[in-house]
Chain A
Amino acid sequence: AQKVTQAQTEISVVEKEDVTLDCVYETRDTTYYLFWYKQPPSGELVFLIRRNSFDEQNEISGRYSWNFQKSTSSFNFTITASQVVDSAVYFCALSGGNQAGTALIFGKGTTLSVSS
């Protein structure tokens, strides 16, 4: 069975602090895809990144970076120099490439609060 675990329910930081959101996944598929989404207070989910299982290269996009490690089944997300606008719920998700019918499996999300 596929599963995504985001162990951190809530994180509070002060502006300019770095913060890492953890994501651990379980799958038997050899081909799979990992995603991160941001859900601001408005409710609409915003796509941040998609990574396939064959690409373990870390990715950096501005203040955001992602660390994918197959050995530990983790896909962690780091925000550098956090800002108040980063306050949101962040979801990690997984989809299997070998089997149909599962679409995206989401973790329960991590609520990030950044104070000024």
Chain B
Amino acid sequence: DGGITQSPKYLFRKEGQNVTLSCEQNLNHDAMYWYRQDPGQGLRLIYYSQIVNDFQKGDIAEGYSVSREKKESFPLTVTSAQKNPTAFYLCASSTGLYNEQFFGPGTRLTVL
């Protein structure tokens, strides 16, 4: 089945630690995205990538980093510089920047 997978589903991190969230898609989509969702809020864009080896900052990129070495994969690293990382993180992909995005199941990150 084609789709987007994110792992892990739940992640706990100690303050000061970096952590990497995985996102893989087998839809052959060129564009991939990372969003953050806080309770009662909409989704806010962290980073997006239109093609391999290229990515752009979204609205809240500070404290995060990404890579896009393969078309299928777009991992997100939450660094210790992110002041309030506890949130629900959603990865998405689309055939193009303005086309409908398809979302993964999300990773819920909690900082202890």
Which residues in A have some Cβ–Cβ distance to B below 8 Å? Answer: 4, 9, 33, 35, 37, 42-47, 50, 91, 95-97, 100-101, 103-104, 106-109
B106 to chain A: which residues have CB within 8 Å? 43-44
Whether, in the assembled complex, B64 has its beta carbon less than 8 Å from a beta carbon of chain A, the answer is no
Count residues of chain B with CB under 8 A from any CB of chain A.
Answer: 24
Q: What are 23 A-B contacts defined by CB distance under 8 Å?
A: A35-B100, A43-B90, A43-B105, A43-B108, A44-B103, A44-B104, A44-B105, A45-B43, A47-B100, A47-B101, A47-B102, A50-B99, A97-B98, A101-B56, A103-B45, A103-B48, A103-B58, A103-B97, A103-B101, A104-B101, A107-B42, A108-B41, A109-B42
| Cβ-neighbour of B90 out of A9, A45, A100, A108 (below 8 A) | A45
- Min distance, Cβ B62 to any Cβ of chain A, angstroms: 17
**Residue in A37, A44, A100, A109 with the greatest tally of chain B CB atoms within 10 Å:** A44
A-B pairs with beta carbons under 8 A, tally: 54
**Residue in B33, B42, B90, B103 with the greatest tally of chain A CB atoms within 10 Å:** B42
| Cβ-neighbour of A95 out of B92, B97, B103, B105 (below 8 A) | B97
Query: Given the known A-B contacts A50-B100, A103-B33, are A108 and B42 also in contact in the complex, defined by CB atoms under 8 Å?
Result: yes
Could you tell me the distance between the alpha carbons of A91 and B41 in the complex, rounded to whole angstroms?
10
Could you tell me the distance between the alpha carbons of A107 and B40 in the complex, rounded to whole angstroms?
11
B48 to chain A: which residues have CB within 8 Å? 103
B108 to chain A: which residues have CB within 8 Å? 43
A95 to chain B: which residues have CB within 8 Å? 97-98
